[in-house]
């Protein structure tokens, strides 16, 4: 009986899976068009899976091994089952391999079960709790049913007496396994992540993210420009169907592992945001329905089951509730911790900014100080609404060389909006003294500089961003310099990664941009700076999101600190796992309340290291962390630490021949020993 039943079961499960796949693809195709290389993308899947995805999964060794055992076993078992049981190929060798594959899968499923007893809070429950059992059902069912083919049990054992009964039970187990693994894969069960995930890897919106055989950096963090010249087009994402189809596909790939949730500073602070839930809400919206079936942690303070949406309905309602509340979107600091951590390579920040763009550009609804800041940026080119002609007032005594006088310089020093902030002016002064000590040929734009557009862009105001960026590009095109150096990681990121797309053939905008820590490190390596020994207390270092995760610069700041003689006491969350200070993405401007403040949590991380001082490299981080009430560690920018330790060689010391004669004439004896 099983010989006839098994192929029927297998092929009907496959057929149902195929129907489900078509339906799922149609859900994704509701999105806006986005062209991708189909064949090339599909060919890339194995590499992207084995190299890039595993690079992320491997950060958690346990689940990485589990996944290799389970998924590897399943893929092999499924293929062989089709050949052996579906097509009836009676090969003992294949059967033995099939046994091995199902065994591996079974061991994997035991590990999955162990991880889930009890499940950590970041994992989703609901249907996910039955997944280990379904995996076992599939692996055990396939294992037992293959025993006769492998020659371990006699052929025909399932055909008489007790065998009949066993066959019935076995069939039921296999139906369960097939149902979850084949049918569930395309009809929205937990296994959907495998189907959508593979295609997501193939058609990812940022193919630059993936490594290739040539090696090198593969990072893609700049936001993509919005086309503003189309008169009728809606700006940003209002409805789920306004995402591009491959974004929708990406949302569908989520495995609800909650790694993003565990890393999200806004979630930890009790602000109404959970990146995992947000992605799931997009899935709910794309398919239509309510979030009542969601079985993970909710947005803090927002019970599950009150929101619903459909592909062509608004995500954020002007009044009342639909799929997501606006404050959820405005809680994000765009720190990218979620994206960095996501094993499915989902782009949360892109999605959040896409939706913010609609709220700002179409609804005119940027919360709290948002509208004021944007108005200031439009009218005065800086977020504080200061007189743009007063940009250089802080440096009246520094006699800074201006690009408009010099026309060219080795280094263009991008000062950023910190020029209006007294705290950051200290950092800038320190950095300028470092540049002078190393005798660097530098110049500033002075009053010709404008805000880089970072805040405007993260607040969704793409129009103001592009206007600022284009004018800055125009200004920069008038001067010659070999690199731009800045103390502000946000300007750094925008100039380096986001201006390029707005350049024109006449005014290309591909600059060599460096953060001041990178540049100082180069100066140190070149032996152009000498330092006194470090005498202060213990020091830790806070990685700014826009320097670290956005641009992969983790080492230069640490190298500089090492050169100063400082041994960095690392925080538990540092490097690519650094916790945001709460200052990015316009979050201090939109200021969505939570249970605690993000900078307080970060200073708690600092306190745990016992460090007396935290070195930073960003004006936002400085401001956020210094805003934490005392007693707390002192906060100093790397530039300040370097400037404090400088041994300034005076011109006299460097050229001894011009040394003035000592006051008392020395005896000739001493001069020629």
Partner 1 sequence: MPHDVSNRAKSATPDGLNVAVLVSIGRHPLTARTRRADQDARAVEMALTLEGASVSLLHAGQHEREHEEALRGYLGMGIDSVNLIQQRPQADVVPALADALREGAPQLVLTGTRAETHEASGVLPYLLAEALGWPIITGLAAVEKVEQGMATVLQALPRGKRRRLRIRLPAIATVDTSAPAARQSAFGPAKRGALEPLDATSEVDEALAAWQVQPARKRPKRLKIVKSSSARDRFKAAAAKADGGGGQTLSDVTPEQGAEAIFKLLKEEGVLR
User: Which parts of this chain interact with ligand SF4 (CB under 6 A)?
Assistant: 254-260, 263-266, 273, 275-276, 279, 332-338, 341-344, 346, 348-349, 580
Which one of residues 94, 101, 353, 361 is an interface residue with partner 1 (CB under 8 A)?
361
Q: How far apart are CA 16 and CA 6, in angstroms?
A: 15
The answer to whether the CB of 277 falls within 8 A of the CB of 295 is no
Instruction: Residue 549: name its binding partner from ligand SF4, partner 1, none (Cβ under 5 to 8 Å by kind).
Output: none
What's the farthest any 2 CA atoms get from each other in the chain? 121
Q: Which is nearer to partner 1, 360 or 497 (CB)?
A: 360
The token pair that represents 105 in the structure block: 């899968």
Cβ atoms within 10 Å of 114's Cβ, excluding its own: 11
Instruction: Residue 385: name its binding partner from partner 1, ligand SF4, none (Cβ under 5 to 8 Å by kind).
Output: partner 1
Binding mask 53-82 for partner 1 (x = CB under 8 A): ------------------------------
Instruction: Residue 322: name its binding partner from ligand SF4, partner 1, none (Cβ under 5 to 8 Å by kind).
Output: none
Q: How far apart are CA 464 and CA 374, in angstroms?
A: 8
Strand locations in 495-650, DSSP E?
A: 513-515, 539-541, 613-616, 634-637
Instruction: Residue 155: name its binding partner from partner 1, ligand SF4, none (Cβ under 5 to 8 Å by kind).
Output: none
Q: Cis ω on the peptide bond leading into residue 73 (within 30° of 0)?
A: no
Instruction: Residue 184: name its binding partner from ligand SF4, partner 1, none (Cβ under 5 to 8 Å by kind).
Output: none
Phi, psi of 350, rounded to the nearest 5 degrees: -55, -45
Interaction between residue 365 and partner 1 (CB under 8 A):
yes
Stretch that binds partner 1, among 24-32, 134-142, 370-378, 625-633 (CB under 8 A): 370-378
Q: Output DSSP code: residue 495.
A: I
Contacts of residue 399, defined as CB under 8 A and 6 or more positions apart, other chains included, come to none
Instruction: Residue 360: name its binding partner from ligand SF4, partner 1, none (Cβ under 5 to 8 Å by kind).
Output: partner 1
The token pair that represents 39 in the structure block: 């064949």
Q: How far apart are CA 494 and CA 334, in angstroms?
A: 13
Q: Which is nearer to partner 1, 64 or 376 (CB)?
A: 376
Interaction between residue 447 and partner 1 (CB under 8 A):
no
Interaction between residue 362 and partner 1 (CB under 8 A):
yes
Q: If we measure between CA atoms, which residue out of 497, 483, 505 comes closest to residue 453? A: 497
Q: Which is nearer to ligand SF4, 343 or 588 (CB)?
A: 343
Which one of residues 231, 397, 405, 660 is an interface residue with partner 1 (CB under 8 A)?
231
The answer to whether the CB of 567 falls within 8 A of the CB of 577 is no
Q: Which is nearer to ligand SF4, 341 or 553 (CB)?
A: 341
For residue 358, the minimal CB distance to partner 1 (Å) is: 8
The answer to whether the CB of 283 falls within 8 A of the CB of 310 is no
Instruction: Residue 347: name its binding partner from ligand SF4, partner 1, none (Cβ under 5 to 8 Å by kind).
Output: none
Q: How far apart are CA 37 and CA 633, in angstroms?
A: 51
Which one of residues 367, 416, 418, 446 is an interface residue with partner 1 (CB under 8 A)?
367
Interaction between residue 586 and partner 1 (CB under 8 A):
no
Which one of residues 180, 461, 543, 553 is an interface residue with partner 1 (CB under 8 A)?
461
- How far is C-alpha 299 from the geometric centre of its chain's CA atoms? 19
Sign, CA dihedral 93-95-97-99, equals negative
The answer to whether the CB of 191 falls within 8 A of the CB of 184 is yes
Q: Count of residues binding partner 1 (CB under 8 A)?
A: 31
Which stretches of the chain bind partner 1, using CB under 8 A?
Answer: 228, 231-232, 234-235, 319, 360-368, 370-371, 374-375, 378-381, 385-388, 461-464
């Amino acid at each position: 009986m099983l010989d006839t039943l098994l192929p029927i079961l297998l092929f009907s499960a496959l057929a149902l899976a195929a129907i489900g796949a078509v339906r799922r693809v149609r859900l994704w195709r509701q999105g806006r068009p986005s062209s991708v290389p189909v064949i090339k993308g599909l060919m890339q899947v194995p590499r992207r899976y084995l190299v890039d995805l595993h690079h992320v999964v491997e950060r958690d060794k346990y689940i990485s091994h589990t996944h290799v055992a389970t998924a590897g076993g399943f893929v092999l078992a499924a293929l062989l089952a089709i050949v052996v049981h579906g097509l009836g190929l009676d090969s003992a060798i294949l059967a033995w391999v099939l046994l091995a594959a199902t065994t591996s899968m079974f061991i994997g499923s035991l590990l999955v079960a162990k991880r889930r007893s009890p499940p950590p809070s970041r994992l989703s429950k609901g249907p996910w709790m039955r997944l280990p059992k379904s995996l076992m059902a599939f692996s055990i069912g396939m294992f037992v049913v293959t025993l006769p083919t492998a020659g371990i049990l006699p052929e025909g054992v399932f055909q008489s007496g007790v065998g009949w009964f066993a066959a019935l039970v076995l069939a039921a187990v296999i139906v369960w396994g097939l149902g979850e693994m084949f049918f569930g894969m395309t009809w929205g069960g937990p296994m959907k992540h495998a189907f959508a995930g593979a295609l997501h890897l193939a058609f990812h919106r940022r193919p630059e993210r993936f490594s290739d055989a040539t090696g090198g950096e593969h990072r893609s963090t700049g936001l993509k420009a919005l086309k503003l010249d189309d008169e009728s087009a809606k700006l940003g994402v209002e409805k789920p169907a306004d995402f591009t189809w491959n974004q929708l596909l990406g949302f569908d790939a989520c495995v609800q592992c909650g790694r993003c949730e565990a890393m999200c500073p806004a979630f930890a602070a009790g602000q109404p945001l959970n990146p995992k839930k947000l992605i799931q809400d997009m899935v709910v919206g794309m398919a239509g329905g309510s979030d009542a079936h969601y079985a993970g942690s909710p947005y803090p303070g927002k019970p599950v089951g009150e929101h619903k949406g459909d592909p062509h309905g608004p995500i954020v309602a002007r009044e009342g509730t639909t799929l997501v509340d606006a404050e959820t979107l405005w809680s994000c600091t765009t720190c990218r911790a979620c994206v960095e951590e996501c094993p499915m390579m989902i782009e949360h920040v892109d999605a959040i900014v896409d939706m913010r763009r609609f709220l700002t550009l179409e609804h005119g609804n940027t919360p709290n100080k948002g509208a004021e800041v944007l108005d200031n940026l439009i009218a005065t080119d800086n977020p504080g609404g200061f007189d743009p002609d007063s940009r250089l007032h802080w440096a009246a005594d520094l006699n800074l060389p201006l690009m408009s006088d010099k026309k060219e310089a080795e280094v263009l020093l991008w000062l950023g909006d910190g020029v209006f902030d007294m705290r950051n002016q200290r950092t800038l002064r320190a950095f300028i003294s470092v540049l002078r000590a190393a005798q660097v040929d530098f110049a500033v734009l002075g009053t010709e500089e404008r805000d880089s557009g970072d805040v405007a862009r993260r607040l969704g105001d793409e129009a103001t961003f592009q206007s600022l960026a284009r004018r800055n590009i125009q200004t920069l095109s008038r001067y010659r310099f070999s690199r731009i150096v800045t103390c502000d990681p946000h300007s750094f990121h925008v100039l380096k990664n986001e201006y390029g797309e707005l350049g024109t053939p006449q005014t290309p905008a591909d600059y060599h941009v460096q953060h001041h820590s990178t540049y100082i490190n180069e100066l140190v390596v070149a032996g152009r700076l000498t330092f006194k020994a470090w005498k202060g207390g213990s020091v830790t270092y806070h990685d700014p999101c826009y320097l670290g995760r956005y641009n992969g610069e983790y080492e230069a700041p640490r190298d500089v600190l090492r050169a100063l003689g400082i041994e960095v006491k690392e925080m538990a969350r540092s490097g690519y796992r650094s916790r945001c200070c709460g200052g990015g993405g316009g979050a201090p401007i939109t200021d969505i309340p939570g249970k605690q403040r993000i900078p307080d949590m970060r200073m708690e991380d600092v306190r745990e290291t016992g460090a007396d001082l935290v070195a930073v490299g960003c004006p936002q981080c400085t401001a956020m962390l210094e805003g934490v009430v005392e007693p707390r560690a002192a906060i100093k920018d790397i530039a300040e630490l370097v400037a404090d330790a400088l041994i300034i060689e005076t011109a006299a010391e460097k050229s001894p021949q011009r040394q003035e004669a000592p006051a008392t004439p020395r005896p000739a004896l001493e001069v020629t020993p």
